[in-house]
Amino acid sequence: MDEKRLTELVRSSGCNAKLPPGDLHEVLDSLPHDADARLIGGYEKSDDAFVYDIGEGKVLIETVDFFPPMVDDPVAFGEIAAANAISDIYAMGAEPSVALSLMCFPSCLPLSVMRSIMLGAIAKAREAGCIIAGGHTISDREPKFGLSVTAIAGKESVWTNSGALPGDVLVLTKKLGAGVNMTALKGGETDAAEAIESMRTLNKRARDMARALRVHAATDVTGFSILGHSAEMADGSGVTVSIAFSSLPFFSGTEELARFGFIPEGRYTNEDYLHDKVAFASGLGKRERDLLFSPETSGGLLLSMPRPDAERFVDGFGAPAAIIGHVRERGSVSVDVIA
């Protein structure tokens, strides 16, 4: 009997498997909030990780992320899942130290697949200077994998997604279109090589370069789309962000794949949640909405910076980093998209 492919065992994949943001917030907003002066940042601000004051000027930063596979190569899946989880630490401006793995594994797959997933994750964690020290595994009909990642940082060095200032510009450090490309890959219409290479690439270099400059707010772009994560930054900062569609970098062929209908399901749940938070300029229609509401997986950092620092960053980092918009005083929406 032929060995089953990872992607044929799952209904959804990557960050497209996230719960619809509206459903998630409905539950989170209904939960009691336990106040603790040591908890500097938690889920209530939609930040990438929680920050806990451990005294003497140090904080503990913790995040967790896991999802079903979007590729059939188990090593690549492990690499992408690890890079995606570690990215939350980089989005806080911190250095990952130690991690625990989370594995859901079906009995129909040989254990060699589990080993390969772990080898991919271990290699990526080592690249980040992080140790996978243990984890937890359960039997499940769908494979899923990810990491819980811990960092310790200086209290004053931590970035949040809620410090963007009017006059800042927005920098994006990776191309967009992972969700569209992964949907087309599952349909056999592309090899998605560029998107896969991007997803397995750490945001370490971007974090390293940005730490030498002024960063007022930061996040990474994953399942809630470029618009969703921009809206979280805008709402947390009390500003409006303007994004120029013409400035956005996309993987080669992404717009054509979207025109052919390779649209991830999460695109629609993202728009359902964000419809009253985002305004589009006239002339921007369904094609642009399909691309901008689509989930990303292991996407780039989104940085709000003073323009001189942003220009210095983009010049030093090189493509695909780009200035994609600017921050202004709060208006009637969280995000407006211009041509």
Domain limits, the chain: 6-157, 169-338
Percentage of the chain lying above the pLDDT 90 cut: 84
Does this chain's domain 6-157 share its CATH topology with 169-338?
Answer: no
pLDDT tens for each residue of 83-112: 999 999 999 999 999 999 999 999 999 999
Instruction: List pLDDT tens digits, range 127-173.
Output: 999 999 999 999 999 999 999 999 999 999 999 999 999 999 999 99
Beta strands in the chain (DSSP E): 39-41, 50-55, 58-67, 96-105, 131-139, 144-154, 169-172, 217-220, 239-244, 278-280, 301-305, 322-329, 335-338
Right CATH number for 169-338 from 3.40.50.300, 3.10.20.340, 3.90.650.10, 3.40.50.970? 3.90.650.10
Q: Quick check: is 108 catalytic?
A: no
Q: How confident is the model at residue 1 (pLDDT cuts 50, 70, 90)?
A: very low
For 281-328, write each residue's pLDDT tens digit.
Answer: 999 999 999 999 999 999 999 999 999 999 999 999 999 999 999 999
CATH of domain 6-157: 3.30.1330.10
User: What pLDDT shows up at residue 42?
Assistant: 65
How much of the chain, in percent, has pLDDT values that exceed 70? 98
pLDDT mean over 246-262:
97
* Bridge partners, 98 (sequence order): 131, 150
Amino acid at 152: I
Report the pLDDT value the prediction gives residue 18, as an integer from 0 to 100: 77
What type of residue sits at position 305?
A: M
Q: In this structure, what token pair is assigned to residue 180? A: 């569209």
Q: Report the alpha-carbon distance of residue 28 to residue 30 in Å, rounded.
A: 5
Q: Is a pLDDT exceeding 90 seen at residue 29?
A: no
- The residues, ordered by sequence, that sit 6+ positions from 241 with a Cβ below 8 Å of its Cβ are 164, 170, 230, 231, 233, 234, 304, 325, 326, 327, 328, 334, 335, 336
Among residues 15, 104, 108, 130, the one annotated as catalytic is: 15
